[in-house]
């Protein structure tokens, strides 16, 4: 199983660990791990197309969370990305993945750094479900040109 798949399974396991009385540590780790699962899926999908296998790990270390978030946040702006002539279903699926990335990253920050927020099992499971949906949605579009263009854009700092 790929690392990102292992992370998604771990997020599920953490959220399900003590259904009757989950700990905040397990729920917070579940939310954080759901984000990292999607983060690593997108990186893995990008570097898989790099011809020189020995350079893939180094390339994977070049991705920045903030750049990936910014690019993902901009995908929904039709002025920046009009996707003219593209299949509307593929465009919507790409937006679903990008929006999930933004949401998961925002909630990872809360889970990791905001100790005043109390997480419920339902909320943690919602984040895990968002990541799982992004995985399945990605698999449906990953070979489309706009999906591949999105992956490349995750590595390049957008100009404002």
pLDDT value at 155 more than 80: yes
pLDDT at position 160 is: 64
Q: Where are the domains of the chain?
A: 3-153
What tens digit of pLDDT does each residue of 127-140 get?
999 999 999 999 99
pLDDT value at 9 more than 70: yes
pLDDT at position 123 is: 98
DSSP characters for 45-69?
Answer: HHHTT-S-GGGHHHHHTT--HHHHH
Produce one character per residue of 144-157: b if its CB has 16 or more CB atoms within 10 Å, e if not.
bebbeebbebbbee
Produce one character per residue of 72-86: b if its CB has 16 or more CB atoms within 10 Å, e if not.
bbbbeeeeebebeee
What tens digit of pLDDT does each residue of 76-101 get?
888 888 999 999 999 999 999 999 99
- Among the listed residues 130, 76, 141, 81, the one whose alpha carbon sits nearest the alpha carbon of residue 106: 130
């Amino acid at each position: 199983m790929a690392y990102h798949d292992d992370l998604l399974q771990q997020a599920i396991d953490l959220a399900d660990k003590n259904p009757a009385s989950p700990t905040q540590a397990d729920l917070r780790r579940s939310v954080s791990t759901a984000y990292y699962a999607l983060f690593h899926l997108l990186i893995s999908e990008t570097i898989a197309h790099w011809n020189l296998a020995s350079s893939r790990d180094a390339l994977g270390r070049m991705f920045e969370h903030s750049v990936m978030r910014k690019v993902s946040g901009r995908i929904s702006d039709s002025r920046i990305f009009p996707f003219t002539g593209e299949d509307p279903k593929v465009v919507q699926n790409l937006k679903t993945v990008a929006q999930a990335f933004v949401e998961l990253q925002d909630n990872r920050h809360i889970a990791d750094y905001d100790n005043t927020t109390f997480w419920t099992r339902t909320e943690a499971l919602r984040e895990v479900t968002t990541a799982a949906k992004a995985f399945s949605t990605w698999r449906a579009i990953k070979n489309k040109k706009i999906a591949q263009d999105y992956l490349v854009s995750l590595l390049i700092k957008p100009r404002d």
